[in-house]
Amino acid sequence: MRVPSTIKSFRLGVQPVRSSSRGFTLLELLIALTIGLVILSAGMAVYLSAGRASQVSQYETQLNEDGILALNLIQAQIKQAGYSEQIIPNSGATVTGNFYGIAIRGCDGGFSDDAVAFASLACATGAGSDSIAVRYQATVYNTYPTIGPPPAPTNCIGNGISTTTPSQVSPVPSTAPEKYALADNRYSVKSSGGQPTLVCRGIQNSAVSPPTGDIQPLLANVEEMQLRYGVASRPSLELASSYDPMRHQIINYLTASEIDALPTTGTQPNITDDRWGRVLSVRVCLLMRSDLPVPDTPPGGLTYKTCDNVDATSTDGHLRRTYTTTILLRNRLIIP
């Protein structure tokens, strides 16, 4: 059977259709995956680095706030040291105010017992954070008073102080001597809830032997407190009536142990009064740490400066920084 010529010519003109698209080769696919992983890894590294920097910045901000708050707290108390209401004007009287005596007493390494009477405070042996006791006449104006009635002055932890301490004014006025509230606050660094904490023991009535008082945490993450004291050549146990370079000029900054080893001037019958009565200022250094460890701590740890200006390294991931201030005992110092 012969095919018609028309059909034959049609069949001969048909060409097979070829697709212009084709799949990736295995090599091309591997290269594309590798490039994608590199880009993804770079983006993830940038994201993690930015997140860590943000956390570190947040920890540093909190660290600075805690450090400034702790310094302000200590500074406000030390500025009160030695305060007394004047009962007899400075007119030749031996003692002109209610409070007369040591305003500041410190110990390198802390007190062996911070609950004893002020005159019985002794220093612990060994290294550690320093402690300081601060005394002044407390009133409803220089403390946060209780609600009352009537309102009463308070100690460093908010307990009311009874007005039971006899006035030390001398000579004794013709009327019966007044009684006043004596603030006696002892600051130190202790562990509270597993965290280093600035604490205070507030003595409610120093006239009682032994005194009664409670200890209370004030601010967490205070790891160390170091103190140095500016001293004069001679003691001054109350605000003098005139400027005397021997009593009002700071000649050196000493540790508590160095003050205890000073030679006496012979102007005070009590050796402790003679030595600690020379203190006119306090230099406070607080070593603070961050509340939480920073993520991805470097293998070599984090470096910081101690209160002795020595380089140190921590491996626990916590940021650390020192905060320092110098506080004048304005109730003892007269500026010429």
Q: How far is CA 168 from CA 69, 103, 204, 273, 308, in A?
A: 35, 14, 19, 15, 40
In the beta sheet, which residues pair with residue 213? 203
Positive or negative, the Cα torsion across 75, 193, 255, 85? positive
Looking at residue 90, what is its pLDDT? 63
Rg (CA), the chain: 36
Round to whole Å and give the CA distance between 257 and 231: 13
For residue range 180-222, list pLDDT tens digits in order. Answer: 999 999 999 998 878 899 999 998 776 665 677 788 899 999 9
What type of residue is 103? A
Three-state SS at 114? coil
Three-state SS at 142? coil
Mean pLDDT of the 169-183 span:
82
More confident site: 234 or 23? 234
Round to whole Å and give the CA distance between 5 and 24: 45
Residue 19 clears pLDDT 90, i.e. is over it: no
pLDDT band (50, 70, 90) for residue 177: confident
Round to whole Å and give the CA distance between 131 and 185: 11
In the beta sheet, which residues pair with residue 279? 231
For residue range 280-323, list pLDDT tens digits in order. Answer: 999 999 999 988 888 777 777 888 999 999 999 888 888 999 99
Round to whole Å and give the CA distance between 289 and 194: 13
The predicted model scores a pTM of 0.81
Place of tokens 């983006």: 43
More confident site: 19 or 260? 260
pLDDT band (50, 70, 90) for residue 96: confident
pLDDT band (50, 70, 90) for residue 16: low
For residue range 118-149, list pLDDT tens digits in order. Answer: 988 999 987 889 999 999 999 999 999 988 78
Share of the chain above pLDDT 70, in %: 88
Bond before 150 cis per omega within 30 degrees: yes
More confident site: 49 or 197? 197
Q: Which of 30-44, 76-90, 226-240, 246-260 has the lowest mean pLDDT?
A: 30-44
Residue 262 clears pLDDT 90, i.e. is over it: yes
For residue range 156-168, list pLDDT tens digits in order. Answer: 988 889 888 888 8
Three-state SS at 187? strand
